[in-house]
Structure 1
């Protein structure tokens, strides 16, 4: 790891969503945030990878820990810090127990090595538990991010952890929610936060606005076919079926790769519903061009921490249909080109599709004005970097 200098503060991040030498295919969002601020901070990462032990290993570890499974870790260096594999059972079994031990391990690493100025845990309900434990042991402030999908799922499934999670949430020097709906959901469970909170949209390299063009060709959605249930393809198919015998009869282009079996499963789901085509995997430039040529973007996901593709669609000049209570909900309230729908209501999705097509010119005109506004710039990388920088400095103070 790089040597610390007096001029550059050191931030140690704990993340299960950082591409590393153990799993290089994780989402790049956290890496992108760190890359945007590398001129201001020396970022070090402990990238965690949970591995479920066998029943024999779990019983042996539990015996060693006198009823509490003893954490086993294997660490290896990689370009951003340490890639760590730790053994812990799935389904939330011994959830806090194992993460507190992970915090103990992290505190030991800090004590034996370079002392950072700040610790950051990149999820409240997982990394946050470990990072708070480490912060208490070594006397360093900590911050957390809130990723709505995972954090709200754990909060709902584990009410017995509410006291622990409330302490993590309220004791953090700064909290970085990725979306407004996620902060509201956490505060409903854990109480309103009084400390600093910095809303932090996820960055994308496709943040140069394209002028919307009327006269588009059909609707588009973008996801990997293995995620068809989560992205709610069944509801989109049901909505298209409601519209196929009307004068509108829209087209829906499904963009995204998948295996032969995944494609066959999705095609079987579509059945004889007209107007739905699968475009396969496309590179990012091609996806952006396909968006620009469409009338609107539709993806009523069932779960989504942020949904970067919605912002990318807007920057490609495309009005969107997004799900209530998840994804970008709370960022775009009242804007005519961002249609909020109940993901469980195919009729509502069909009505939103109809609006995208029938009001295309009006919606794209309103979108063009927004793309030239300060509100739009909050989703660009320079603005996100500035917000993240200010938040980290605030946490250190």
Structure 2
């Protein structure tokens, strides 16, 4: 009999909000043959003053909590009322947990496991729902959001620790997130499963020395978090052969966003805004380049780095975030201080001047078996094992 799992996520595309990250949906798709997955996709809305008053005056009633709920192919999408800026954060999410418990127990077939896809938001609701429904729960740690809320809410540290320690299974995408959570909340007896995010662009393309451009891949609306300003400062420091190399920005944007980004990069002559590249064409474009440089200020994972390595392209990535910890001391993955243009510039110069040697090391890594953990096959196998451990536990 196939185990039924109910996932609770604020990062799942649904009829209420269609444009969300596809990561959680990908994990469920990879294990759809192994489990019967359903989703409660949650969307927070700010309550009106009258609704908030009703919620606060009637703490035992959830009549005004869920304001919109509708079925969709993967499960149930809903909007729940809660103030912004973390006001009544725990109480509103615990009340949402009561509603989720009703969903979980009203089905014709019972659920065997609940999964919350962030500790500090969905985890509160899922832990409460699991307590009410008598179902075990598991967690996914999401680096940026969970670390940010844990730092901002020391008053909730004990409840976060309890939810984390009492979960049947905890997994996360990156060593950075795992290490940060263990520093703040302690180590679990069963540890934290480390499972990278999946990409469909995981076919190996052998590196080739092209003397091509440096590329950076992002939508222009995200230029701040992708640190275009820092990349510009770094480019202006390059001299000689390295200083002559084109830096192509691959990604779409509005005319206003393009104008703004051109203004930001005006001090450096190397930039070319090449527009978006079709996803299926991206490995070919990457294989023609010298290196990928995305010195982001923050990244939950940074799939583009993994996609580049499979496409035979060395990477320059930010320390302390994204994929940091997966590629320590490997010359084809250069970690930089995103706050230091000098650090970024030195990595760019090295990628240009040592292209042949660096791409040879990348080719060896591709063929060594070390890349296998980032393939969809391995990720599906490891996520299946993690969920099975939660069901057994």
Determine which of 127, 142, 145 is the counterpart of 2:137: 142
For 1:174-213, list aligned pairs within 5 A. Answer: 174-213=169-208
Number of aligned pairs?
390
Kindly tell me: are residues 251 and 56 of structure 1, through their superposed partners in 2, closer, same or farther at Cα, counting changes over 3 Å? farther
1:67 Cα deviation (Å)?
Answer: 12
Aligned equivalents of 2:90, 2:167: Cα separation in 1: 17
Match of 2:210 in 1: 215
Determine which of 300, 305, 308 is the counterpart of 2:303: 308
CA contact (8 A) 2:234 2:342 kept: yes
Determine which of 356, 360, 363 is the counterpart of 2:355: 360
3-state DSSP class of the match of 2:313? coil
Task: Please tell me the root mean square deviation across aligned C-alpha atoms, in Å.
Answer: 1.7
Which deviations, in whole Å up to 9, do the C-alpha atoms of 1:255-311 show, x marking residues without a partner?
111111111111111113111011112211222222111000001111111111100
More deviation, 161-170/286-295: 286-295
3-state DSSP class of the match of 2:158? helix
Aligned equivalents of 2:23, 2:162: Cα separation in 1: 26
Kindly tell me: are residues 200 and 73 of structure 1, through their superposed partners in 2, closer, same or farther at Cα, counting changes over 3 Å? farther
CA contact (8 A) 1:301 1:343 kept: yes
Match of 1:330 in 2: 325
3-state DSSP class of the match of 1:378? helix
Unpaired runs of 5+ in structure 2? Answer: none
For 1:12-31, list aligned pairs within 5 A. Answer: 12-31=6-25
1:111 Cα deviation (Å)?
Answer: 2.0
Determine which of 48, 53, 56 is the counterpart of 1:54: 48
Match of 1:236 in 2: 231
1:216 Cα deviation (Å)?
Answer: 3.4
CA contact (8 A) 1:122 1:128 kept: yes
Match of 2:68 in 1: 74
Aligned equivalents of 2:65, 2:143: Cα separation in 1: 27
For 1:71-110, list aligned pairs within 5 A. Answer: 71-110=65-104
* Deviation >4 Å, runs of 4+: 66-70
Aligned equivalents of 1:372, 1:163: Cα separation in 2: 45
More deviation, 67-76/129-138: 67-76
1:56 Cα deviation (Å)?
Answer: 4.6
Determine which of 216, 224, 227 is the counterpart of 2:219: 224
1:369 Cα deviation (Å)?
Answer: 0.8
Pair 1:282 & 2:249 matched: no
Which deviations, in whole Å up to 9, do the C-alpha atoms of 1:6-50 show, x marking residues without a partner?
x21111100111111111211111111111111110001111111
CA contact (8 A) 1:142 1:395 kept: yes
3-state DSSP class of the match of 2:93? helix
1:72 Cα deviation (Å)?
Answer: 3.0
More deviation, 104-113/357-366: 104-113
1:152 Cα deviation (Å)?
Answer: 0.6
1:60 Cα deviation (Å)?
Answer: 4.3
Instruction: Tell me the TM-score normalized by structure 1.
Output: 0.95
Match of 2:379 in 1: 384
CA contact (8 A) 1:170 1:195 kept: no
